[in-house]
């Protein structure tokens, strides 16, 4: 079968392309923004990528066109698919019908932590010799790719609540039919399609309805929004985790870290390299999902030490002149604050300089802008970029933070300003859910140029 994927460089669609190629299909695709790491992974697998949406790419016609949720009516190639009557499907639909059918799906859902938790879960199953398949919205360091078929029934998937396609406004995760479901947390996000938290809870309720009675739901027991969603109707045993006393499995403070306590596990230190309370929650969720398919938590805690993290999650991109440049995917106020809090203890005597691009659709709408000052307040110095398409003034945020915050509307000017004030020991924490114009490499190159001329 020849699949042609519209929007192939998105994290979900690119990963689907890798799975289809591994399954033996001929795969091609197109996108408007073709950039690494996804473009590199696709090209390495022999997948042809067309830049842009010229309908000529449909000649000769493929057997099926898989349409990403970023594609809209009016797009030339979308219109050509419809006019010519070509077979088409959404990405989640094609995945469910051709990859997930008959498999034990372990789905990781929630507003925050999906990618890291799914990467952790895939690693735990792999370490246990289960050779799982997976599709994750990022690249786990233990696998160096975002998706694979695997050789056993187990399949780990990052289950996103965003819509499936312009013709299917259901959340992607409704297609996946998991037997093991993690609900990490639930907040209002994706304001371009969800007017409020209640709308998101309704979609999660639809997901809960697909989990069989013989399955398992691993749910954040600390969050009211998760509890309310399960109270809408649940037909599956629920294991609750969190820090509060009523949970089945608990995280307890242990000096600068945490220990895990459960019904069949005495208090045991969570000994690994990923910092922050949010990552401790991610770890416990992954341990419990792995437990449902037979991995003892005691053994899973040992294997956590070998987890190499995710690309774009607390990822060190380089160190020049004693200045460390980190990349992180955080783009929601809760995730931004959690990331800053996690970095804070490791900064040492230098400064934590946060650099944020408000790029997500929710950020572009300004839905959470009033929460940004508090989310960024833990950094010593704050820089915001005003990207094209953001119509609200980011200067509102920097003004609320006072003299330690500033902004720039031009990327080159932003790089120059940051480099001019950076000094040895500083930690530059760059947060965006996009490529941010390659700012990480630009900063490292500019710091190196300063070293050569200094």
- Domain boundary pick from 67, 90, 113: 90
pLDDT in tens, 188-216: 776 677 788 899 999 999 999 999 999 99
Are 130 and 187 part of one and the same domain? yes
Q: Where on the phi/psi map is residue 190: left (φ > 0), alpha (ψ -120 to 50), or beta?
A: left
**Burial class of residue 298 in the structure, from the number of CB atoms within 10 Å of its CB (0-12 exposed, 13-18 middle, 19+ buried):** middle
- What is residue 47's predicted lDDT score, i.e. its pLDDT? 93
> What is the C-alpha to C-alpha distance for residues 449 and 92, in angstroms, rounded to an integer?
46
CATH number at residue 166: 3.40.1190.10
Q: Do 78 and 108 fall into the same domain? A: no
Rounded distance between C-alpha atoms, residue 163 and residue 68, angstroms = 10
* Residue that finishes a domain, picked among 304, 338, 364: 304
Cis peptide before 173 (omega within 30 of 0): no
Examine the domain organization and report whether 273 and 249 are in the same domain. Answer: yes
Angstrom distance (rounded) from CA 212 to CA 80:
40
Tokens, residue 354: 């946060």
> pLDDT per residue over 230-266, tens digit each?
999 999 999 999 999 999 999 998 877 889 999 989 9
Q: Are 159 and 108 in contact (CB under 8 A)?
A: yes
pLDDT of 190 reads 64
Structural contact between residues 328 and 315, judged by C-beta atoms closer than 8 angstroms: yes
Q: Do 368 and 380 touch, CB atoms closer than 8 A?
A: no
- pLDDT score recorded for residue 142: 80
Other beta carbons within 10 Å of 171: 25
**Pair 20, 83 in one domain:** yes
CA angle, 402 then 437 then 439, to 5°:
60
Q: Which pLDDT does position 454 carry in this prediction?
A: 46
Indicate which CATH number applies to the domain containing 34: 3.40.50.720
Name the pTM for this structure: 0.76
Query: Is 96 part of any domain?
Result: no
Work out how many domains the chain is built from and give that number: 3
128 shares a domain with 80:
no
Residue 300 lies in a domain: yes
The pLDDT assigned to 241 comes to: 96
pLDDT at 338: 78
Asked whether residue 310 is domain-assigned, the answer is no
What CATH number did the domain enclosing 404 receive? 3.90.190.20
Average pLDDT, the chain: 89
Task: Tell whether 109 and 240 lie within a shared domain.
Answer: yes
Domain coverage including residue 427 = 315-453
Judge contact between 154 and 293, C-beta under 8 A.
yes
CB 49 within 8 A of CB 8: yes
Same domain, 298 and 346: no
- Grouping H, G, I as helix, E, B as strand and the rest as coil, residue 49 is strand
Q: Which residues pair with 107 in a beta bridge?
A: 157, 181
Classify residue 435: in a domain, yes or no.
yes
Using the 3D structure, point to which of 32, 59, 90 is the last residue of a domain.
90
- Classify residue 409 as exposed, middle or buried by CB count within 10 Å of its CB (0-12, 13-18, 19+): middle
Terminal-residue alpha carbon distance, the chain: 58
Closest CA to 358 of 392, 334, 324, 326: 392
Residues 53 and 67: their CA atoms lie apart, in Å, by: 12
Residues 254 and 121 both lie in one domain:
yes
Question: Is 411 inside any structural domain?
Answer: yes
Residues 245 and 167 in one domain: yes
Asked if the structure places residue 309 within a domain, the reply is no
Report, as ranges of residue numbers, the positions in the chain whose pLDDT lies below 50.
452-454
In 311-449, where do the E strands start and end? 315-320, 323-328, 352-356, 381-385, 405-408, 427-431
Torsion sign, CA atoms 433, 166, 92, 197: positive
Q: Which of 241, 227, 279 is nearest to 114 (CA)?
A: 279
Residue at 432 is within a domain: yes
Query: Which segments of 80-224 are extended strands (E)?
Result: 88-90, 104-109, 133-135, 147-148, 154-158, 163-165, 168-171, 180-183, 216-220
Q: Is residue 97 part of a domain?
A: no
Kindly give, in sequence order, each residue whose CB lies less than 8 Å from that of residue 258, ignoring residues fewer than 6 positions away.
251, 252, 269, 270, 277, 280
Give yes or no: residues 45 and 115 share one domain.
no
Q: Which pLDDT score, from 0 to 100, does residue 283 have?
A: 92
257 shares a domain with 121: yes
Distance between CA atoms of 251 and 270, rounded to whole angstroms? 9
According to DSSP H, which parts of 28-165 are helical? 38-44, 76-84, 91-95, 114-127
**Shared domain check, 351 and 448:** yes
């Amino acid at each position: 079968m020849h699949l042609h994927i519209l929007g192939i460089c998105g994290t979900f669609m690119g990963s689907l392309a890798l799975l289809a190629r591994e399954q033996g299909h001929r795969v091609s695709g197109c996108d408007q923004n073709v950039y690494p790491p996804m473009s590199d992974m696709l090209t390495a697998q022999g997948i042809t990528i067309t830049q842009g949406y010229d309908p000529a790419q449909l000649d000769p016609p493929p057997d099926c066109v898989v349409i990403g949720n970023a594609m809209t009516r009016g797009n030339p190639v979308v219109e050509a698919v419809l006019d010519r009557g070509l077979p088409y499907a959404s990405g989640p639909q094609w995945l469910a019908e051709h990859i997930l059918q008959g498999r034990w799906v372990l789905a990781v859902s929630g507003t925050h932590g999906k990618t890291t938790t799914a990467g952790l879960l895939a690693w735990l199953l792999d370490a246990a010799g289960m050779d799982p398949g997976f599709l994750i919205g990022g690249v786990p360091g233990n696998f160096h790719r975002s998706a694979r078929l695997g050789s056993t029934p187990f399949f780990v998937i990052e289950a996103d609540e965003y819509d499936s396609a312009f013709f299917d406004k259901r959340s992607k995760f409704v297609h996946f039919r998991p037997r093991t479901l993690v609900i990490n947390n639930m907040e209002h996000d994706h304001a371009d399609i969800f007017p409020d938290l209640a709308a998101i809870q309704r979609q999660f309720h639809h997901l809960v309805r697909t989990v069989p009675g013989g399955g398992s739901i691993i749910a954040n027991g600390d969050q009211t929004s998760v509890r309310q969603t399960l109270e809408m109707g649940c037909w599956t045993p629920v294991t609750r985790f969190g820090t509060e006393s009523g949970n089945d499995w608990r995280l307890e403070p242990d000096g600068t870290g945490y220990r895990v306590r459960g019904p069949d596990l005495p208090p045991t230190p969570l000994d690994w390299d990923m910092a922050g309370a949010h990552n401790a929650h991610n770890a416990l969720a992954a341990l419990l999902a792995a437990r449902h398919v037979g991995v003892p938590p005691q053994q899973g805690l040992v294997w956590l030490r070998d987890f190499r993290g995710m690309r774009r999650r607390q990822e060190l991109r380089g160190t020049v002149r004693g200045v460390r440049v980190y990349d992180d995917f955080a783009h929601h106020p809760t995730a931004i604050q959690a990331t800053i809090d996690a970095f804070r203890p490791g900064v040492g005597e230098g400064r934590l300089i946060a650099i944020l691009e408000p790029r997500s659709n929710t950020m572009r709408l300004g839905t959470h802008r009033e929460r940004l000052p508090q989310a960024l307040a833990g950094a010593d110095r704050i820089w915001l970029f005003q990207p094209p398409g953001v119509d609200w003034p980011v200067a509102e945020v920097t003004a609320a933070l006072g003299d330690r915050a500033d902004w720039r509307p031009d990327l080159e000017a932003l790089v120059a300003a940051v480099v001019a004030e950076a000094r040895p020991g500083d930690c530059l924490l760059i947060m965006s859910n996009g490529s941010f114009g390659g700012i990480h490499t630009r900063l490292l190159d500019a710091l190196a140029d300063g070293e050569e001329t200094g």
